[in-house]
Amino acid sequence: MVNEPKEPDDKRSDPRNVHEEGERPVSLEVKEETQPETKRGRGSWAWGAGLMVLLSKGKTLLLLLLKFGKPLLSMAVTVGAYALLYPWTFALGFVALLFVHEMGHVWAAKRRGLPVSSPLFIPFLGALITMKRHPKDAETEAYVAIGGPILGTVGALFCFLLAEWTGSEVWYALAYVGFFLNLLNLLPIHPLDGGRITKAVSRWLWVAGAVLAPLVIWYTHSILFAFIWVWFLWQMYREFFRKKAERPVYVEGIYEADVDPDLPDWYLSGQSHRRELPFTAYCRMDGQHVAEFRWEPLSFRGELEIDTPCTIHSVRIVQVENQSEDNRVRFKVRLEGEAYQSDHYYEVPLSVRWRFGLTYGGLAAFLGYMMWAIHEMGLTNP
Protein backbone atom coordinates (compact mmCIF):
# COMPACT_ATOMS: atom_id res chain seq x y z
CA MET A 1 0.00 0.00 0.00
CA VAL A 2 1.18 3.51 -0.82
CA ASN A 3 0.52 5.98 1.92
CA GLU A 4 -0.21 9.65 1.46
CA PRO A 5 2.65 12.08 1.99
CA LYS A 6 2.95 13.18 5.56
CA GLU A 7 0.53 15.84 6.59
CA PRO A 8 1.89 19.26 5.83
CA ASP A 9 1.49 20.32 9.43
CA ASP A 10 4.22 17.92 10.45
CA LYS A 11 6.74 20.33 11.94
CA ARG A 12 10.12 20.14 10.34
CA SER A 13 12.56 20.55 13.17
CA ASP A 14 14.96 17.91 11.98
CA PRO A 15 18.59 18.95 12.54
CA ARG A 16 19.20 18.25 8.91
CA ASN A 17 17.25 21.40 8.15
CA VAL A 18 19.91 23.56 9.81
CA HIS A 19 21.39 25.80 7.16
CA GLU A 20 24.62 27.61 6.74
CA GLU A 21 24.40 30.86 4.86
CA GLY A 22 23.87 30.21 1.20
CA GLU A 23 23.62 26.46 1.74
CA ARG A 24 20.85 23.94 2.21
CA PRO A 25 19.63 22.65 5.68
CA VAL A 26 22.56 21.89 7.73
CA SER A 27 52.40 -5.35 19.03
CA LEU A 28 52.34 -9.16 18.25
CA GLU A 29 53.73 -11.80 20.59
CA VAL A 30 55.01 -14.96 18.89
CA LYS A 31 55.16 -18.21 20.84
CA GLU A 32 55.08 -21.88 20.17
CA GLU A 33 51.57 -23.33 20.51
CA THR A 34 49.85 -26.65 20.18
CA GLN A 35 47.32 -27.20 17.41
CA PRO A 36 44.24 -26.18 19.41
CA GLU A 37 45.94 -22.98 20.51
CA THR A 38 46.77 -22.25 16.86
CA LYS A 39 43.08 -22.40 16.04
CA ARG A 40 42.36 -19.98 18.85
CA GLY A 41 45.10 -17.75 17.51
CA ARG A 42 43.49 -17.79 14.10
CA GLY A 43 40.19 -16.94 15.71
CA SER A 44 41.80 -13.94 17.37
CA TRP A 45 43.22 -12.87 14.02
CA ALA A 46 39.73 -13.14 12.54
CA TRP A 47 38.19 -11.06 15.30
CA GLY A 48 40.99 -8.53 15.01
CA ALA A 49 40.52 -8.24 11.26
CA GLY A 50 36.78 -7.85 11.71
CA LEU A 51 37.32 -5.13 14.28
CA MET A 52 39.65 -3.28 11.92
CA VAL A 53 37.00 -3.40 9.20
CA LEU A 54 34.37 -2.04 11.56
CA LEU A 55 36.65 0.77 12.67
CA SER A 56 37.66 1.68 9.13
CA LYS A 57 34.10 1.45 7.77
CA GLY A 58 32.33 2.58 10.91
CA LYS A 59 30.91 5.74 9.40
CA THR A 60 29.50 3.91 6.40
CA LEU A 61 28.02 1.17 8.56
CA LEU A 62 26.44 3.76 10.84
CA LEU A 63 24.85 5.54 7.92
CA LEU A 64 23.49 2.24 6.59
CA LEU A 65 22.13 1.38 10.01
CA LEU A 66 20.39 4.73 10.32
CA LYS A 67 18.89 4.37 6.85
CA PHE A 68 17.79 0.73 6.97
CA GLY A 69 17.60 0.12 10.72
CA LYS A 70 13.93 1.02 11.13
CA PRO A 71 12.68 -1.05 8.14
CA LEU A 72 14.79 -4.05 9.19
CA LEU A 73 13.62 -3.77 12.78
CA SER A 74 9.97 -3.51 11.75
CA MET A 75 10.46 -6.52 9.45
CA ALA A 76 11.98 -8.57 12.28
CA VAL A 77 9.20 -7.62 14.68
CA THR A 78 6.54 -8.49 12.09
CA VAL A 79 8.14 -11.87 11.34
CA GLY A 80 8.23 -12.60 15.06
CA ALA A 81 4.59 -11.61 15.49
CA TYR A 82 3.38 -13.89 12.68
CA ALA A 83 5.66 -16.69 13.92
CA LEU A 84 3.57 -16.77 17.09
CA LEU A 85 0.61 -17.98 15.05
CA TYR A 86 2.13 -19.72 12.03
CA PRO A 87 5.27 -21.76 11.23
CA TRP A 88 8.33 -19.52 11.05
CA THR A 89 8.87 -20.49 7.40
CA PHE A 90 5.42 -19.14 6.52
CA ALA A 91 5.94 -16.01 8.64
CA LEU A 92 9.25 -15.26 6.97
CA GLY A 93 7.85 -15.88 3.48
CA PHE A 94 4.77 -13.78 4.15
CA VAL A 95 6.78 -10.74 5.26
CA ALA A 96 9.05 -11.26 2.22
CA LEU A 97 5.94 -11.06 -0.02
CA LEU A 98 4.92 -7.81 1.67
CA PHE A 99 8.43 -6.48 1.08
CA VAL A 100 8.30 -7.40 -2.62
CA HIS A 101 4.95 -5.65 -2.97
CA GLU A 102 6.22 -2.44 -1.36
CA MET A 103 9.40 -2.50 -3.43
CA GLY A 104 7.16 -2.48 -6.48
CA HIS A 105 5.86 0.90 -5.34
CA VAL A 106 9.40 2.12 -4.63
CA TRP A 107 10.59 1.02 -8.09
CA ALA A 108 7.67 2.75 -9.82
CA ALA A 109 8.10 5.93 -7.76
CA LYS A 110 11.81 6.12 -8.57
CA ARG A 111 11.02 5.79 -12.27
CA ARG A 112 8.76 8.82 -11.99
CA GLY A 113 11.25 10.80 -9.89
CA LEU A 114 9.19 10.73 -6.69
CA PRO A 115 11.11 10.37 -3.41
CA VAL A 116 9.62 7.78 -1.07
CA SER A 117 10.35 6.44 2.39
CA SER A 118 11.67 2.96 3.16
CA PRO A 119 8.99 0.30 3.73
CA LEU A 120 7.55 0.19 7.24
CA PHE A 121 6.02 -3.09 8.47
CA ILE A 122 3.19 -3.19 11.00
CA PRO A 123 2.32 -6.60 12.51
CA PHE A 124 -1.13 -7.89 11.47
CA LEU A 125 -1.77 -4.73 9.45
CA GLY A 126 0.69 -5.01 6.55
CA ALA A 127 3.31 -2.62 5.25
CA LEU A 128 3.44 0.80 3.65
CA ILE A 129 5.69 3.42 2.14
CA THR A 130 5.20 7.16 2.26
CA MET A 131 5.53 9.41 -0.74
CA LYS A 132 7.53 12.45 0.29
CA ARG A 133 6.02 14.55 -2.45
CA HIS A 134 2.59 14.51 -4.02
CA PRO A 135 2.38 13.19 -7.59
CA LYS A 136 1.72 15.84 -10.18
CA ASP A 137 -1.31 14.12 -11.74
CA ALA A 138 -3.59 11.08 -11.51
CA GLU A 139 -1.54 9.19 -14.12
CA THR A 140 1.61 9.42 -11.99
CA GLU A 141 -0.30 8.38 -8.88
CA ALA A 142 -1.75 5.37 -10.68
CA TYR A 143 1.66 4.37 -12.05
CA VAL A 144 3.16 4.29 -8.55
CA ALA A 145 0.14 2.45 -7.17
CA ILE A 146 0.07 -0.33 -9.77
CA GLY A 147 3.77 -1.09 -9.33
CA GLY A 148 3.05 -2.80 -6.00
CA PRO A 149 0.44 -5.32 -7.20
CA ILE A 150 2.44 -6.11 -10.34
CA LEU A 151 5.66 -6.95 -8.52
CA GLY A 152 3.68 -8.52 -5.68
CA THR A 153 1.97 -10.82 -8.18
CA VAL A 154 5.35 -11.82 -9.55
CA GLY A 155 6.43 -12.72 -6.02
CA ALA A 156 3.32 -14.81 -5.39
CA LEU A 157 3.74 -16.55 -8.77
CA PHE A 158 7.32 -17.41 -7.83
CA CYS A 159 6.00 -19.07 -4.65
CA PHE A 160 3.48 -21.02 -6.74
CA LEU A 161 6.16 -22.27 -9.13
CA LEU A 162 8.29 -23.35 -6.16
CA ALA A 163 5.27 -25.15 -4.75
CA GLU A 164 4.71 -26.99 -8.03
CA TRP A 165 8.38 -27.96 -8.11
CA THR A 166 8.75 -29.03 -4.47
CA GLY A 167 5.19 -30.05 -3.57
CA SER A 168 5.50 -28.07 -0.34
CA GLU A 169 2.19 -26.98 1.17
CA VAL A 170 3.87 -23.95 2.74
CA TRP A 171 4.75 -22.58 -0.69
CA TYR A 172 1.17 -23.17 -1.87
CA ALA A 173 -0.13 -21.31 1.18
CA LEU A 174 2.26 -18.42 0.56
CA ALA A 175 1.24 -18.24 -3.08
CA TYR A 176 -2.46 -18.20 -2.16
CA VAL A 177 -2.01 -15.49 0.46
CA GLY A 178 0.16 -13.48 -1.93
CA PHE A 179 -2.46 -13.60 -4.69
CA PHE A 180 -5.22 -12.75 -2.21
CA LEU A 181 -3.44 -9.72 -0.70
CA ASN A 182 -2.63 -8.25 -4.10
CA LEU A 183 -6.21 -8.81 -5.27
CA LEU A 184 -7.51 -7.18 -2.10
CA ASN A 185 -5.26 -4.18 -2.74
CA LEU A 186 -6.81 -3.82 -6.20
CA LEU A 187 -10.25 -3.15 -4.74
CA PRO A 188 -11.20 0.33 -6.02
CA ILE A 189 -11.24 1.93 -2.57
CA HIS A 190 -9.01 4.80 -1.58
CA PRO A 191 -6.36 4.60 -0.07
CA LEU A 192 -5.83 1.06 -1.36
CA ASP A 193 -3.82 0.67 -4.56
CA GLY A 194 -6.97 0.02 -6.57
CA GLY A 195 -8.48 3.30 -5.47
CA ARG A 196 -5.41 5.16 -6.72
CA ILE A 197 -5.18 3.22 -9.98
CA THR A 198 -8.83 3.87 -10.87
CA LYS A 199 -8.20 7.60 -10.55
CA ALA A 200 -6.49 7.31 -13.94
CA VAL A 201 -9.34 5.18 -15.36
CA SER A 202 -12.54 6.58 -13.89
CA ARG A 203 -13.38 7.73 -10.40
CA TRP A 204 -16.84 6.28 -10.89
CA LEU A 205 -15.24 2.88 -10.29
CA TRP A 206 -15.11 3.98 -6.68
CA VAL A 207 -18.85 3.33 -6.58
CA ALA A 208 -18.18 -0.33 -7.40
CA GLY A 209 -15.61 -0.40 -4.62
CA ALA A 210 -18.09 1.04 -2.15
CA VAL A 211 -20.57 -1.73 -3.06
CA LEU A 212 -18.03 -4.58 -2.98
CA ALA A 213 -16.37 -3.53 0.27
CA PRO A 214 -19.07 -4.94 2.59
CA LEU A 215 -18.63 -8.36 0.95
CA VAL A 216 -14.90 -8.18 1.61
CA ILE A 217 -15.53 -7.14 5.22
CA TRP A 218 -17.88 -10.12 5.67
CA TYR A 219 -15.35 -12.51 4.09
CA THR A 220 -12.31 -11.26 6.00
CA HIS A 221 -14.06 -10.30 9.28
CA SER A 222 -11.65 -7.34 9.36
CA ILE A 223 -12.60 -4.45 11.63
CA LEU A 224 -9.73 -2.42 10.14
CA PHE A 225 -11.14 -2.84 6.64
CA ALA A 226 -14.53 -1.72 7.95
CA PHE A 227 -12.96 1.51 9.21
CA ILE A 228 -11.23 2.00 5.84
CA TRP A 229 -14.58 1.55 4.08
CA VAL A 230 -16.35 4.13 6.27
CA TRP A 231 -13.52 6.61 5.76
CA PHE A 232 -13.69 5.94 2.00
CA LEU A 233 -17.41 6.70 1.91
CA TRP A 234 -16.68 10.05 3.53
CA GLN A 235 -13.97 10.73 0.97
CA MET A 236 -16.39 9.90 -1.86
CA TYR A 237 -18.94 12.29 -0.43
CA ARG A 238 -16.37 15.06 -0.28
CA GLU A 239 -15.10 14.27 -3.79
CA PHE A 240 -18.43 14.23 -5.59
CA PHE A 241 -20.98 16.15 -3.55
CA ARG A 242 -19.22 18.66 -1.35
CA LYS A 243 -17.11 21.67 -2.12
CA LYS A 244 -13.52 20.89 -1.22
CA ALA A 245 -12.60 22.41 2.11
CA GLU A 246 -9.48 24.45 2.54
CA ARG A 247 -6.57 22.41 3.89
CA PRO A 248 -3.90 24.46 5.68
CA VAL A 249 -0.22 23.78 5.04
CA TYR A 250 2.50 24.43 7.60
CA VAL A 251 6.22 23.85 6.98
CA GLU A 252 8.97 24.72 9.44
CA GLY A 253 12.76 24.74 9.38
CA ILE A 254 15.54 25.68 11.79
CA TYR A 255 18.51 27.69 10.51
CA GLU A 256 21.74 29.35 11.69
CA ALA A 257 23.25 32.58 10.42
CA ASP A 258 26.14 34.95 11.15
CA VAL A 259 25.19 38.20 12.82
CA ASP A 260 26.67 41.55 11.82
CA PRO A 261 28.44 42.98 14.92
CA ASP A 262 27.06 46.42 14.02
CA LEU A 263 23.46 45.17 14.26
CA PRO A 264 21.71 46.69 17.33
CA ASP A 265 21.26 44.29 20.24
CA TRP A 266 17.53 44.97 20.42
CA TYR A 267 17.03 43.70 16.86
CA LEU A 268 17.34 40.04 17.91
CA SER A 269 16.02 40.39 21.44
CA GLY A 270 13.36 38.01 22.74
CA GLN A 271 12.55 34.42 21.86
CA SER A 272 9.11 35.52 20.72
CA HIS A 273 10.63 37.46 17.85
CA ARG A 274 8.22 37.67 14.90
CA ARG A 275 9.12 39.00 11.48
CA GLU A 276 7.70 38.55 7.98
CA LEU A 277 10.27 37.58 5.36
CA PRO A 278 10.18 38.17 1.61
CA PHE A 279 10.12 34.94 -0.37
CA THR A 280 10.05 33.50 -3.87
CA ALA A 281 8.21 30.25 -4.65
CA TYR A 282 9.22 28.03 -7.54
CA CYS A 283 9.33 24.42 -8.67
CA ARG A 284 12.70 22.74 -9.32
CA MET A 285 13.36 20.56 -12.35
CA ASP A 286 12.90 17.44 -10.21
CA GLY A 287 9.36 18.56 -9.34
CA GLN A 288 10.10 19.69 -5.79
CA HIS A 289 8.24 22.83 -4.70
CA VAL A 290 10.48 25.30 -2.88
CA ALA A 291 10.04 28.61 -1.10
CA GLU A 292 13.25 30.65 -1.00
CA PHE A 293 13.27 33.37 1.65
CA ARG A 294 15.62 36.21 2.59
CA TRP A 295 16.54 37.92 5.87
CA GLU A 296 18.28 40.99 4.54
CA PRO A 297 19.80 42.47 7.76
CA LEU A 298 21.69 39.18 8.25
CA SER A 299 22.34 38.74 4.49
CA PHE A 300 20.83 35.27 4.85
CA ARG A 301 19.10 33.22 2.19
CA GLY A 302 17.42 29.91 2.93
CA GLU A 303 14.79 27.64 1.47
CA LEU A 304 11.93 25.45 2.61
CA GLU A 305 10.92 22.37 0.63
CA ILE A 306 7.16 21.95 0.30
CA ASP A 307 5.84 18.44 -0.22
CA THR A 308 2.32 19.58 -1.11
CA PRO A 309 1.45 22.05 -3.88
CA CYS A 310 -0.01 25.06 -2.14
CA THR A 311 -0.73 28.76 -2.21
CA ILE A 312 1.73 30.41 0.18
CA HIS A 313 0.28 33.08 2.43
CA SER A 314 3.35 33.97 4.49
CA VAL A 315 6.90 33.03 5.47
CA ARG A 316 7.90 34.36 8.86
CA ILE A 317 10.41 34.00 11.68
CA VAL A 318 8.62 32.58 14.71
CA GLN A 319 11.47 32.05 17.16
CA VAL A 320 15.00 33.39 17.68
CA GLU A 321 17.45 31.95 20.20
CA ASN A 322 19.97 34.04 22.08
CA GLN A 323 23.00 35.10 20.09
CA SER A 324 26.02 32.85 20.72
CA GLU A 325 29.52 34.03 21.60
CA ASP A 326 30.72 33.46 18.04
CA ASN A 327 28.14 35.92 16.70
CA ARG A 328 25.79 33.25 15.32
CA VAL A 329 22.08 33.08 15.84
CA ARG A 330 19.68 30.14 15.52
CA PHE A 331 16.11 30.78 14.40
CA LYS A 332 12.96 29.02 13.27
CA VAL A 333 11.05 29.88 10.11
CA ARG A 334 7.46 28.86 9.40
CA LEU A 335 5.64 28.80 6.08
CA GLU A 336 1.86 29.00 6.09
CA GLY A 337 -0.30 28.30 3.09
CA GLU A 338 -3.27 26.51 1.67
CA ALA A 339 -3.09 23.25 -0.26
CA TYR A 340 -4.66 23.04 -3.66
CA GLN A 341 -5.14 20.48 -6.39
CA SER A 342 -4.80 21.40 -10.00
CA ASP A 343 -8.01 21.42 -12.03
CA HIS A 344 -6.12 19.31 -14.58
CA TYR A 345 -5.12 16.61 -12.07
CA TYR A 346 -7.62 14.07 -13.42
CA GLU A 347 -7.08 14.90 -17.09
CA VAL A 348 -5.63 11.62 -18.42
CA PRO A 349 -5.36 10.84 -22.16
CA LEU A 350 -7.84 8.23 -23.38
CA SER A 351 -5.07 5.86 -24.49
CA VAL A 352 -3.56 5.98 -20.99
CA ARG A 353 -6.96 5.28 -19.44
CA TRP A 354 -7.34 2.19 -21.62
CA ARG A 355 -3.83 1.02 -20.79
CA PHE A 356 -4.37 1.31 -17.05
CA GLY A 357 -7.85 -0.14 -17.32
CA LEU A 358 -6.76 -3.24 -19.24
CA THR A 359 -3.76 -3.79 -16.96
CA TYR A 360 -5.91 -3.36 -13.88
CA GLY A 361 -8.66 -5.69 -15.09
CA GLY A 362 -6.26 -8.30 -16.45
CA LEU A 363 -4.24 -8.36 -13.25
CA ALA A 364 -7.37 -8.73 -11.10
CA ALA A 365 -8.66 -11.58 -13.31
CA PHE A 366 -5.32 -13.42 -13.13
CA LEU A 367 -5.13 -13.08 -9.37
CA GLY A 368 -8.67 -14.35 -8.97
CA TYR A 369 -8.01 -17.34 -11.22
CA MET A 370 -4.82 -18.31 -9.36
CA MET A 371 -6.64 -18.15 -6.03
CA TRP A 372 -9.38 -20.40 -7.42
CA ALA A 373 -6.84 -22.87 -8.85
CA ILE A 374 -4.96 -23.21 -5.55
CA HIS A 375 -8.19 -23.44 -3.60
CA GLU A 376 -9.33 -26.32 -5.82
CA MET A 377 -6.16 -28.17 -4.87
CA GLY A 378 -7.06 -27.86 -1.20
CA LEU A 379 -3.53 -26.71 -0.33
CA THR A 380 -3.98 -23.28 1.19
CA ASN A 381 -3.07 -23.92 4.85
CA PRO A 382 0.51 -23.32 6.06
Q: What is the pLDDT of residues 61-72, one digit of tens each?
A: 444 444 556 777
Q: Give the other-Cβ count within 10 Å of 117's Cβ.
A: 16
| Nearest by Cα to 272 from 328, 336, 323, 318 | 318
Residue 93 has pLDDT above 70, yes or no: yes
Torsion sign (Cα): 238, 239, 242, 248: positive
Q: Which amino acid is at 91?
A: A
SS3 192: coil
Q: What is the pLDDT of residues 204-243, one digit of tens each?
A: 888 888 888 888 888 888 888 888 888 888 878 777 765 5
In this structure, the strands spanning 247-258 and 126-130 are: unpaired
The confidence band for 175, taking pLDDT boundaries of 50, 70 and 90, is: very high
In this structure, the strands spanning 310-320 and 328-339 are: antiparallel
Mean pLDDT of the chain: 77
The pLDDT of residue 129 is 78
The pLDDT of residue 85 is 86
In this structure, what DSSP letter does residue 16 have? G
In this structure, the strands spanning 279-283 and 310-320 are: unpaired
332, 252 in Cβ contact below 8 A?
yes
When pLDDT is averaged across residues 112-140 and rounded to a whole number, the result is 81
Domain boundaries, the chain: 2-8+63-244+350-377, 247-339
Of 338 and 94, the structure prediction assigns the larger pLDDT to 94
SS3 72: helix
Q: What is the pLDDT of residues 264-319, one digit of tens each?
A: 766 766 555 678 888 888 777 666 788 889 988 888 899 888 877 778 888 998 88
SS3 35: helix
In this structure, the strands spanning 126-130 and 2-3 are: parallel
- On whether the pTM is more than 0.85, the answer is no
The pLDDT of residue 236 is 80
When pLDDT is averaged across residues 371-376 and rounded to a whole number, the result is 88
The pLDDT of residue 367 is 95
Residue 328 has pLDDT above 90, yes or no: no
Rounded Cα distance between 206 and 324, Å, is 57
